[in-house]
Structure 1
Amino acid sequence: MKKFLLMLLLAGFCIPLGVQAQAPKKVSIEGTVTEYNTKEPIAGCVVSIPTLELWVVTDAKGRFRMPSVTTGSYTIEATCLGYEPLSYKVTITASIGALSLRLKESSLQLNTVTVTAQRGRSINSSSTIDRQAMDHLQATSVKDVMQLLPGVVTSNPDLTSSSYNFIGIRDLNPNMTSVETLGVNSSTVGIYVDGASVKNDASLVGEKATGFGQPVSKGIDMRTISTDNIESVEVVRGVASAEYGNMSAGAVIVKTKQGRTPYEVRVKAVPNTKAVALTKGYALGPDKGFLNVGLDYANAMKDIRTSKDAYDRGTFSVNYSNTFNRDRTPFQFNAKVSGYLSKGTSKPDADDLSQDERKFLDDKSLSLNLNGSWLLNKSWITSLKYVLSHTMTREYARNKALSTFVGVANPGATEPGEGFVEFTPHDYMSDIRNLSMAYYTNAKLMAEVSGRYGKVYNKAMLGAEWSNSGNTGKGQYYEGVRPIQFRPQPFSDIPFMNQMAVFVEEKVTLPVGKTSLTLQAGGRFTYLATDRLNDKWAVDPRFNLKYTIISNRAPKKVRELSLRAGWGIQTTLPGLYTLYPFASYIDNYSLRLPAAGERPAMEAWTTEVTTAEELSNRDLKMQYSKNFEVGVDFEMFGIKGSIAYYNEKMRNGYSTMYTPGVYSYREYNYSGAETPVYIDDPNNPGQKVLGVNGEPLDYETVTKFKRIAKPGNNNKYDKQGVEYTFDFGQIRAIRTSIIVNGAYMQMKNMPDVGVKQLFDLSYNSGKIQINGENVYNPVYGGYDGGKSLQGTAIRKRFNSNFSFITHIPKLRLITSLTVQCVWLDRSRNFKNSGVYYEDAEGNKIYDFEGQVDGTLYKDPDWYMDAAGNVLPFDPSLYDGELGNAFQIYRTTSTNSSLFVQNSFKPYFMANIRITKEIGNIAQISFYANNFTNSRPKMKLQSTGSYRMVNTEMYFGAELKLKF
């Protein structure tokens, strides 16, 4: 595969050189861009020929000149912020000296207004959402925009909870716990803002070790990306270009505003959220560029009756854009400084005296982004594109509460060993703090060569990308009294991590009779510079194919018809915490003495430490997905449509892998009145032991088991489905368009574990009764595939959204009524390996499905003895001398319907949105989700419980002023 991609690279850059002798002649195009009604010149408008990757920006008088254009038939496009894009088809045989392009200002007065997601320009499955669609949707964050994609059902915005503000692509809602447990999360979605990758894998707040747990990052909190200063959002659902890396479930590409705009003030009010925003695009003068400024503030409360749980967000951005050397080799330069401040708080209700816990997270970020393009238009290179970004993020979390651990021993050693410990006060506040200072740097340089050679259109791309991330924060610490069993976790101990990638891509369009074939093939080579992985390379080949049978045909029954397919591998790299986990600790008491005379109560504890090095996994593999899709796009009989089948297989999903271990410590047998002290151990030279009057105390050596939680690759999922969109056009008599979109989606989550790879612990460290004696459990049972009775989890959903969009230009009014229909909603958990039930005669039945008659069981696959030996488990051990010990590890459930399929009847809801313009100065919008309050209860056959479907009734209004 690597050799193939290298050959592809050479071919892409040699094709233009090999055909120069037969290349058509070059001409120039000159013209002006003006406003449609006033005929005033428009400065800063981008005029381009996408097929040739040529572009130019108009000057202060709206003039442009595009030299060295290959003769042929093309579509010339003109785009400018605040105006409707214009496409102009032209056949170029000679130079054009006075091309006039007239743009219409975006307004509801226009005959055509788009408030839905449109098919993207890529040859894969992608959707583009423009500014008008976001205004009509009244989106507060990018998460809200995702509702316009086929197959996505409505969800109400909630800024108070980060768990509701992560995004997934082609994901079913994680209603089943197994979906969340198996790592299906938005960390696999690539987020790109103005060309720069946005990541938070170095932000370790919330990623600290809890016991032995290794939490998995969920990706970018989309609350931090406001929509007010966004021009467009593109969502790539299919196989992405090789330009995009470190993602495996698709990409969200955000483009912010650049150009002149009036002052815009937006005021938004919904039941639990209030928001205000100000944006303005300044024209700095002839050839001096533009300055776009945006400010945003939002306040949200979990419950409007109390401010107990609240969230505040403020964002800002300042973007300077200009194009230099317009007439010869235009150099486009954009410099943006942006940031956000957010604060989430959780405090006691003033009327609830039983609560005394306060939590808050203070999050601040500052980013610098430099990006642009240099159009060289040479035979060997067409353009250079560049991105350089740096982000600093400060997160400060605090949890202050009245501690319930009062007057008890408080071990806190960070080194293994035994020693006396302090006691907590009888009344104190636990004040745990967490400070993260994360830094991200991303640099990308990309060279392109494109043109028409004979009848062949060719575009070759070669690029390199470097990313650096790290954290210098203080980490987890405390103020005042040390909380129970607290250990500091400084983030600055983790080294910075570097990622380097080279990517290449070739796109060729060939004529095939009256049809055409477009092939896009590329690959991405990524190297992760770390000493914690043996396999540091990721190779991602990607292919897309489009066969255009009919294109841009004059008005006939069939105007457009094309077939497309794609296949590729997309890799998500591990984050800092996955590669560099913190040490973990186990504390056991060795001696407990009550107060006696003048001697205070005292306790000695032993600390067992599993170091960060022991918790790392150098055999960790990189998480990747294999993506395949095939689709058809058409426009026939007045209907525009798109249908796509997709199949995505994610493997090596990051998770936690448990391995067993054994450790020992001393328990002393002493209850005298004298105070013991540490003395030299006569039986173990160089070690200390507790003693009285120079004599060692009697003790018993206790052996216990522990589990070591390492990063692993134990998860996988399969996603497949069919997405569809049909635009039936407008019924002119009532000026109403009908659009239907939706999807059939199936998601299968599977624990992918091999022998002795996942050890699930149900170990009781306390004493149990064996043969009439209370002893520590002498065995530790484990499972090759986890102790859970549930194995693979499958969910299926088939939904349709019927949108009725009424647009009345004379009234400057647009309304959309969307009826959401979920025709099928099923979920099922299949049994794990080794699950059985017993019939009336006591026979074990392993081969069954669905409902059973009796209790469900799963036995361990192996066990470990006190010497650390791993031995196979046999059910006869339940009846042996250690029967009580083994019974602890036997998983049981009296729910005989656990593996029955949950199937809901069809359910429906309706949403309405209204947008009205008042002249050129104001716009009023209103929306109501589930305005009929349709929330039927559906029975979960696997548990017998009921669940309400559809979102709660939710409404909001928005006022936008322009001046």
Structure 2
Amino acid sequence: MDKAVIPEALIVLEDPKDDAFQMETMSDKEGFFMFRDVPPGRYKLAALKEGFYNNSLFDFDVLPDQSYDVTIRLINQKGRWNSEYCFMIGGIEVKAVEKDVIQSEMVTTRRIDSGEIDHLQADNLGDVLTLVPGVEKSRQIGLSSDQSIGIRKVANSYTTLSGNETFGTTVMVDGNVINNDAMITGMSSSLASGIDLRTIPADDIESVEVITGIPSVEYSNFADGVIKVNTKRGQVRSRLKGKFNPDTKGASFSSGLKVPFGGTLDYHVNYAYSERDIRKEGDEYHRFYLSTAYSGDALDKKLDYVLKGSYTRSLDDEKPTDANRVGRHSHDYRTTGGLILKYKPDPQLVYSNYFNVDMNRKNNYRSRWVNDQIDTVYGYIGELWEDGREWDINYKLLRDKTVKQKNGNETGTLYGLEFSYQKNTGSGVHLDSIYNYYGAYSTRRSYSFDDYPGFPKLSVYGERNWKWKVRDRSVEMMLGLRYDAINVRGLDISAGNDGISFLNARQGEFLSPRFNTRIELADGLFWRLGAGRSVKSISLSHVYRNSAYVQTFIDSQWVEVEYKQQNPDLKSYYTDKLETSLDWKATDWLGLTLTAYYQESKDQPSTMAYPVGYEINPDTLTSLTYSLMENTAWSKDRGVEFSLNTKRIKNLKFVFNATYRYSLRGEEGRYYDSSVDTSWEEIWVPNPETWKHKIILGQQTSYINQRLGVWLTVDLQYIPFDQKRTVYKSNSIETVLEDHPVTLYQGMTYWYDAERWEYGDHWVLNARLSKSVGQNTEVSLYVNNVFDDPGLWIDPFRGSIYELNVPIYYGLEVSTQW
């Protein structure tokens, strides 16, 4: 992305109609070149330089007695994942994502580059992740609603992912982990979820890596997978972009410049606006975003440094115009600042330092009509306010050494240390004690964030890597071990039933071993195997739930009693994962990959309700309850992934993906039921289990023509199989309901709750087209659900009709750079 001049580049002028005509010259030390006495005609002008991708200008018209100033941009190959080719369609970089048709790493990773993001017209990170096969999202693309992601999770039909399903995926932006660990409020849900991906604009993203396998021990704080986002920096070319569609409109500007002391300053500004329901006033979402990065090198280029910062402001409003008088606003902003230092004393050794400070300012309001009676008042407007700041401070130190031996073998060692601190400050959540937002008889009251302590975390890890050649076959292996201590309160070296303890870590100490290998079985055929454990820290909102207040009749009067709902000993949870893959490069232009995986997660946080008076009598039966977060939830996921990739053949490229996912989840122990028929039901009931599975087929065909400046992509997704079922383990009774002889289990709301739900099949077709309208300008058009097929599904039990596909969604994007 550096706009430096390129000396000694070969410039070739060719006449497509005359193979014998060719003129050549070289650029000088200032990057200038010149052709003299060129006959009038239409030419192809090409530039070539070792270490850069070639670039050609087609249909260049030369008129008699005219001179021309021509700028040819060459893109550096460094850090481009060994792309086979790269050229521009207007301002969009078009390149092969990988040189080979199969991946070359031990860890299952899918990469998305800036060209694909531009071509998709993505607005935010959530949109970008639709390019990853089999990844389930919580919502459609755009800004109309929250977006979160669950790696290798199953979202049935019209349902969405929530809670632990999205909380277990970690997002990293330029090495900085962004999550909701510092969140302490439970105003919207009792379970913390993944971050809202709308807050990360796509226009500032250089590349995205989605790690679904077992990664290096460097990566932490995840249960399901890691999403690595790299933003643009390095004197970015000036670029102006505008987006238009019925839901979202936005504009962005990026640029970079040289600054004193040899560094570069890059900045990116973005504004986006969504009008979610054109029939409703005051139902808009605004996003303002600014990021800057100052980067350079020192000490004879042995030290690289990056000083970066960002500011994201969200204005999410909904005025109370409906019958329920539902109103809200979320006027939050997030600021981040970070310093990256990489010192390379010799070519084989690198010391990396990452320091980041994140602050999420919360300013939220909710209101609604509450249909409760208080004395002579029948109904009222309940209101809720939230005011606070989430602080997240992180430091990471890495030592990475690679030794290449003369026989071609290679060894590497990695050591690391991490420290982080999460804290929530502010006046907290405010509720009217009489006209309570949650109802006149709600057990919720106001509470302050300042009352709760912070979360210090400490991690150390080490890893060893090997690469060998055995009888001309490559063999790779990685062994690593990571130690995480969460919510450290001091030293506590002891031995107990859970093993040796080193620190007093309130939320747990964990050892996470990880192993990967990749073996070349035959020419073009590779086998990969990985196994390991990863730990996900719980959120402050899991531990520090606000107290419940219950009206109890004591000594001939009603007294409000406080029940603590905090669980300071709640533990973080972990996931064990096993994965194996076969990668076959059938020919130079065709590759196939088959992956099978299994992962099991235990001790996930979940809400447990207790009756008031439980401490005195566990068999208490009352509708008055309080709740605690406990480590009772678990999940088991398995699946198979198949992909077929081709290289681009005569401007065409073909990709096919097939994904099968199975998920089983439940909770240990029993749950409390306050309304029981004691003739056959129990007060404490065994928890049910829910399984769901799904097949997703995807096919992508793309056509690129450099001469015409056209990039056309068509995506077809077909879901032939989508089922779920809840298995009850409670007491049952045989009865007849709605003329149906059924087995009714305790805990069921309807007789069909235990039935198998089949959502049938549905498909959707998406298309996008990018066309250059000059050397540096392009126009892109996309249409999702081209045929506006709603994918109708009729609920066989209730008769309700649902649309499994989102409605047709289209837009236009124009950008230019200089």
Is contact 2:487–2:507 with CA below 8 Å preserved after alignment?
A: no
Assess, with a 3 A threshold, how the Cα gap between structure 1 residues 254 and 435 changes in structure 2: closer, same or farther: same
Q: What are the within-5 Å matches in structure 2 for residues 679-718 of structure 1?
A: 706-718=624-636
**Counterpart for residue 719 of structure 1:** 637
Do structure 1's residue 652 and structure 2's residue 603 form an aligned pair? yes
Is contact 1:582–1:611 with CA below 8 Å preserved after alignment?
A: yes
SS in 2 for 1:245: coil
Do structure 1's residue 157 and structure 2's residue 104 form an aligned pair? no
SS in 1 for 2:192: coil
Do structure 1's residue 439 and structure 2's residue 391 form an aligned pair? yes
SS in 1 for 2:202: coil
CA distance in structure 2 between the partners assigned to 1:856 and 1:779 by the alignment: 13
SS in 2 for 1:649: strand
CA distance in structure 2 between the partners assigned to 1:740 and 1:326 by the alignment: 47
Is contact 1:268–1:276 with CA below 8 Å preserved after alignment?
A: yes
Q: Deviations over 1:628-658 (max 9, x none)?
A: 1111223223312222111111111111123
Aligned residue type for 2:201: S
SS in 2 for 1:578: helix
**Counterpart for residue 836 of structure 1:** 732
Aligned residue type for 1:821: Y
Do structure 1's residue 934 and structure 2's residue 789 form an aligned pair? yes
CA distance in structure 2 between the partners assigned to 1:376 and 1:623 by the alignment: 39
Q: What are the within-5 Å matches in structure 2 for residues 777-856 of structure 1?
A: 781-786=682-687, 791-829=688-726, 831-838=727-734, 854-856=741-743
Q: Deviations over 1:372-420 (max 9, x none)?
A: 3111127xx7110110000111111112456655753xxxxxxxxxxxx
- 1:704 offset after TM fit, Å? 5.2
CA distance in structure 1 between the partners assigned to 2:540 and 2:225 by the alignment: 22
Assess, with a 3 A threshold, how the Cα gap between structure 1 residues 960 and 797 changes in structure 2: closer, same or farther: same
Do structure 1's residue 499 and structure 2's residue 386 form an aligned pair? no
Q: Deviations over 1:454-503 (max 9, x none)?
A: 43201100000000010111101258986456632001101111000001
Indicate the percent of aligned positions where both proteins have the same amino acid. Answer: 21
**Counterpart for residue 362 of structure 1:** 331
Q: What are the within-5 Å matches in structure 2 for residues 4-23 of structure 1?
A: none
Assess, with a 3 A threshold, how the Cα gap between structure 1 residues 656 and 407 changes in structure 2: closer, same or farther: closer
**Counterpart for residue 881 of structure 1:** none
CA distance in structure 1 between the partners assigned to 2:472 and 2:216 by the alignment: 27
- 1:738 offset after TM fit, Å? 1.5
Q: Deviations over 1:675-716 (max 9, x none)?
A: xxxxxxxxxxxxxxxxxxxxxxxxxxx995744421112222
Q: What are the within-5 Å matches in structure 2 for residues 375-386 of structure 1?
A: 375-377=344-346, 382-386=349-353
Is contact 1:900–1:941 with CA below 8 Å preserved after alignment?
A: no
Among 225, 229, 234, which residue is 2:204 paired with?
A: 229
Do structure 1's residue 247 and structure 2's residue 222 form an aligned pair? yes
Among 694, 703, 728, which residue is 2:646 paired with?
A: 728
**Counterpart for residue 884 of structure 1:** none
**Counterpart for residue 124 of structure 1:** 107
Is contact 2:52–2:74 with CA below 8 Å preserved after alignment?
A: no
Q: What are the within-5 Å matches in structure 2 for residues 886-901 of structure 1?
A: 891=747, 895=751, 897-901=752-756
Q: Deviations over 1:499-553 (max 9, x none)?
A: 0000111111122111021001111101113569756201111111101246xxx
Do structure 1's residue 140 and structure 2's residue 123 form an aligned pair? yes
- 1:626 offset after TM fit, Å? 1.0
**Counterpart for residue 12 of structure 1:** none
**Counterpart for residue 319 of structure 2:** 347
Do structure 1's residue 172 and structure 2's residue 154 form an aligned pair? yes
Is contact 2:157–2:804 with CA below 8 Å preserved after alignment?
A: no
SS in 2 for 1:640: strand
Q: Deviations over 1:219-274 (max 9, x none)?
A: 21111111111111111011121001111110001111111232211111111111
- 1:853 offset after TM fit, Å? 5.5
SS in 2 for 1:473: strand
Among 664, 667, 670, which residue is 1:748 paired with?
A: 664
Is contact 2:397–2:417 with CA below 8 Å preserved after alignment?
A: yes
**Counterpart for residue 415 of structure 2:** 462
Assess, with a 3 A threshold, how the Cα gap between structure 1 residues 331 and 202 changes in structure 2: closer, same or farther: same
Is contact 1:528–1:536 with CA below 8 Å preserved after alignment?
A: yes
CA distance in structure 2 between the partners assigned to 1:87 and 1:591 by the alignment: 75
Q: Deviations over 1:907-955 (max 9, x none)?
A: 3221100001122231111100111122232344565544332222111
Q: What are the within-5 Å matches in structure 2 for residues 554-593 of structure 1?
A: 560-588=524-552
Do structure 1's residue 220 and structure 2's residue 195 form an aligned pair? yes
Aligned residue type for 2:419: W
Paired residues, what number?
A: 740
Is contact 2:413–2:464 with CA below 8 Å preserved after alignment?
A: yes
SS in 1 for 2:154: coil
Aligned residue type for 1:947: Y
Q: Which moved more, 1:388-397 or 1:820-829?
A: 820-829
TM-score (ref. length: structure 1): 0.70
Among 272, 286, 297, which residue is 1:323 paired with?
A: 297
Larger radius of gyration: 1
Assess, with a 3 A threshold, how the Cα gap between structure 1 residues 519 and 571 changes in structure 2: closer, same or farther: same
Assess, with a 3 A threshold, how the Cα gap between structure 1 residues 88 and 528 changes in structure 2: closer, same or farther: closer
Q: Deviations over 1:48-90 (max 9, x none)?
A: xxxxxxxxxxxxxxx99xxxxxxxxxxx9999x9826269999
Is contact 1:436–1:471 with CA below 8 Å preserved after alignment?
A: yes
CA distance in structure 2 between the partners assigned to 1:323 and 1:946 by the alignment: 61
CA distance in structure 2 between the partners assigned to 1:133 and 1:105 by the alignment: 13
Q: What are the within-5 Å matches in structure 2 for residues 64-463 of structure 1?
A: 83=75, 85=77, 106-107=88-89, 113-114=95-96, 122-152=105-135, 156-162=140-146, 165-173=147-155, 175=157, 183-205=163-185, 207-208=186-187, 215-284=190-259, 288-326=262-300, 330-349=302-321, 354=323, 356-377=325-346, 382-401=349-368, 408=375, 430-455=382-407, 456-463=409-416
Mark the runs of 5 or more structure 2 residues left unpaired by the alignment. Answer: 1-5, 12-25, 32-48, 55-72, 490-503
SS in 2 for 1:730: coil
Aligned residue type for 2:334: S
Mark the runs of 5 or more structure 1 residues left unpaired by the alignment. Answer: 1-31, 44-62, 65-75, 91-100, 409-423, 551-557, 593-603, 666-701, 769-776, 841-850, 859-889
**Counterpart for residue 513 of structure 1:** 471
- 1:435 offset after TM fit, Å? 0.6
Among 522, 535, 542, which residue is 2:514 paired with?
A: 542
CA distance in structure 2 between the partners assigned to 1:800 and 1:759 by the alignment: 38
CA distance in structure 2 between the partners assigned to 1:40 and 1:204 by the alignment: 61
Is contact 1:898–1:943 with CA below 8 Å preserved after alignment?
A: no
Q: Which moved more, 1:480-489 or 1:501-510?
A: 480-489
Do structure 1's residue 857 and structure 2's residue 769 form an aligned pair? no
CA distance in structure 2 between the partners assigned to 1:125 and 1:167 by the alignment: 18
Assess, with a 3 A threshold, how the Cα gap between structure 1 residues 171 and 407 changes in structure 2: closer, same or farther: closer
- 1:956 offset after TM fit, Å? 0.9
Assess, with a 3 A threshold, how the Cα gap between structure 1 residues 111 and 808 changes in structure 2: closer, same or farther: farther
CA distance in structure 1 between the partners assigned to 2:98 and 2:140 by the alignment: 18
CA distance in structure 2 between the partners assigned to 1:490 and 1:779 by the alignment: 44
Task: Let me know the Cα RMSD of the aligned residues.
Answer: 3.9
Is contact 1:645–1:720 with CA below 8 Å preserved after alignment?
A: yes
SS in 1 for 2:807: coil
Is contact 2:155–2:161 with CA below 8 Å preserved after alignment?
A: no
Q: Deviations over 1:132-155 (max 9, x none)?
A: 010011111111111111224796
CA distance in structure 2 between the partners assigned to 1:960 and 1:494 by the alignment: 48
